[in-house]
């Protein structure tokens, strides 16, 4: 069964998505997600111009060999564009294999290791009452684990916090975040470090000790500041503190690790097992954050997670709305199959996205399941996709109050 046709489909039903569709000589189709938020066209070109011509005529079931061919073949290795493109191919091939076998992909990965994948949702607020309302809404939806992000006094906009003024506003879908030039936010680390422990104290007082809580510092701290925040959050028993420092500074985590017992999650911007080498062998983290979409697909992420398992490090797969439902499905098949599952992030896609991508995964009682459809279990409605043209949209940038560029 050979790969016969390669199509790259761009659609923007509220956010931009890069989808690869492969068709075999037997007429079986597979879908893969190669979405790289804010740099989508680079992956689309990499796939259409450089990868597509190499795939035609290849044996569709040789998934590992195709992964190695695309990883080692070009000489130039790793990087987010390359690894997102490899991811799209890899997912599409697993989807095809599952459809041919008549089995959901998790069965091909070794079968079910748990009844469901614990998911965490996002709650945020610029004030405590707004934050509490957001937490209540997630609890009503069944969530058992919740990420807490809060506005910081003196800062107009903060990562992860939707507007309290607009009903139902979400920071990931607000129009302000979808401009053709990045909007600018401002940042004050000292104000943030003063404010956040009080927020968690208030949340624990309101919701009790049992609710699973998480927080994302989004790459903004130095190792010493990360250690300080980790320590100040210890009384509030976080499931994890995410991206306290920029992920590429692997050695920096030694300082954080030696100073706090708050569990650490890192890696949504990392894309290969080599990016995790020190983090894993020195046991500097507790959770791996990479998604299949950004780390070479199911095959690429499985290499990282199997390596992590040896060191009792678990998965915490990135699940933002800039990973498409195809990428989300790939994550869920891994979540159910691997032994070292930790938690799965879930930001629910908007209704238009779920009309374009028909999913068979489910969320109930706080747990996700990939469903029993053969393959990944996601169908693309190409007519619906065609109604939403690619629209340039960038993530914000961040500057300190004196104008210095900072990590966003």
Tell me how far apart the alpha carbons of residues 243 and 232 are, in angstroms, rounded to a whole number.
16
How far is residue 221 from each of residues 84, 241, 398, measured CA to CA in Å? 27, 12, 13
How far is residue 41 from each of residues 8, 38, 58, measured CA to CA in Å? 10, 8, 25
Residues identified as active-site:
159, 218
Q: What mask of x and - would describe binding to ligand EZ4 in positions 189 to 228, judged by CB under 6 A?
A: ---------------------------x-x----------
Q: Quick check: 33 binds ligand EZ4 (CB under 6 A)?
A: no
How far is residue 160 from each of residues 1, 263, 333, 395, measured CA to CA in Å? 45, 20, 27, 12
Q: Which residue is nearest to ligand EZ4 (CB)?
A: 320
Q: Is the Cα torsion angle 77, 79, 85, 90 positive or negative in sign? A: positive
Q: Quick check: 345 binds Co ion (CB under 5 A)?
A: no
Tokens matching residue 360 = 């068979």
Residue 37 near which of ligand EZ4, Co ion, none (CB within 5-8 Å, type-dependent): ligand EZ4
Q: Quick check: 297 binds ligand EZ4 (CB under 6 A)?
A: no
Tokens matching residue 90 = 């890899």
Q: Which of 40, 90, 95, 268 binds ligand EZ4 (CB under 6 A)?
A: 268
What is the footprint of ligand EZ4 within residues 337-396 (CB under 6 A)? 395
Q: Quick check: 322 binds ligand EZ4 (CB under 6 A)?
A: yes
Q: Quick check: 320 binds ligand EZ4 (CB under 6 A)?
A: yes
| Of 39-47, 136-144, 192-200, 315-323: span binding ligand EZ4 (CB under 6 A) | 315-323
Tell me how far apart the alpha carbons of residues 34 and 297 are, in angstroms, rounded to a whole number.
9
Q: Quick check: 216 binds Co ion (CB under 5 A)?
A: yes
Residue among 85 and 217 whose Cβ is closer to Co ion: 217
Question: Residue 261: exposed, middle, or buried by beta-carbon count in 10 A (0-12, 13-18, 19+)?
Answer: exposed
Residue among 54 and 395 whose Cβ is closer to ligand EZ4: 395
- The single-letter DSSP state of residue 48 is I
Residue among 39 and 58 whose Cβ is closer to ligand EZ4: 39
Residue among 37 and 66 whose Cβ is closer to ligand EZ4: 37
Q: How many CB atoms lie within 10 A of CB 309?
A: 16
- Shortest CB 26 distance to ligand EZ4, Å: 36
Give the number of residues written for the chain.
408
Task: Produce one character per residue of 41-57: b if its CB has 16 or more CB atoms within 10 Å, e if not.
Answer: ebbbebbbeebbebbee
Residue 320 near which of ligand EZ4, Co ion, none (CB within 5-8 Å, type-dependent): ligand EZ4
Q: Quick check: 37 binds ligand EZ4 (CB under 6 A)?
A: yes
**Chain residues in the site for ligand EZ4 (CB under 6 A):** 37, 216, 218, 268, 318, 320, 322, 395
């Amino acid at each position: 069964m050979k790969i016969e046709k390669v199509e790259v489909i761009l659609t923007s039903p509220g956010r931009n998505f890069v989808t690869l569709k492969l068709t075999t000589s037997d007429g079986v189709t597979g879908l893969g997600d190669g979405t790289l938020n804010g740099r989508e066209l680079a992956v689309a070109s990499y796939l259409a111009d450089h990868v597509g011509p190499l795939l035609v005529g290849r044996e569709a079931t040789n998934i590992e060999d195709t992964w190695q061919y695309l990883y080692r073949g070009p000489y130039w290795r790793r990087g987010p564009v390359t690894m997102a493109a490899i991811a799209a191919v890899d997912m599409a091939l697993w989807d095809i294999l599952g459809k041919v076998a008549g089995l959901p992909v998790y069965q091909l990965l070794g079968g079910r290791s748990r009844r469901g994948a614990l998911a965490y949702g996002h709650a945020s607020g610029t004030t405590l009452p707004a934050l509490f309302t957001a937490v209540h809404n997630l609890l009503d939806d069944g969530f058992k684990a919740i990420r807490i992000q809060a506005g910081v006094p003196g800062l107009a906009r903060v990562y992860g916090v939707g507007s309290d003024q607009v009903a139902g506003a979400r920071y990931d879908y607000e129009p302000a975040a979808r401009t053709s030039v990045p909007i600018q936010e401002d940042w004050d680390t000292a104000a943030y470090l003063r404010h956040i422990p009080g927020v968690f104290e208030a949340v624990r007082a309101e919701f009790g000790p049992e609710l699973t809580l998480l927080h994302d510092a989004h790459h903004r701290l130095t190792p010493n500041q990360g250690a300080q925040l980790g320590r100040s959050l210890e009384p509030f028993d976080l499931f994890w503190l995410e991206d306290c420092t920029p992920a590429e500074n692997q050695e920096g985590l030694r300082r954080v690790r030696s100073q706090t017992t708050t569990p650490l999650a890192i890696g949504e911007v990392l894309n290969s097992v080599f990016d995790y080498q020190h983090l894993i062998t020195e046991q500097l983290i507790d959770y791996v954050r990479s998604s299949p979409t950004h780390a070479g697909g199911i095959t690429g992420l499985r290499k990282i997670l199997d390596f992590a398992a040896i060191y009792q490090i678990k998965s915490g797969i990135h699940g933002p709305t800039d990973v498409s439902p195809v990428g989300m499905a790939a994550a869920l098949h891994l979540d159910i199959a691997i032994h070292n599952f930790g938690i799965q992030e879930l930001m629910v896609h908007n209704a238009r996205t779920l009309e374009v991508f028909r999913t068979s995964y489910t969320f109930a009682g706080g747990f996700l399941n990939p469903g029993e459809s053969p393959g990944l279990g996601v169908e693309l409605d190409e007519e619906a996709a065609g109604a939403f043209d690619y629209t340039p949209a960038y993530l914000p940038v961040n500057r300190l109050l004196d104008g210095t560029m900072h990590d966003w």
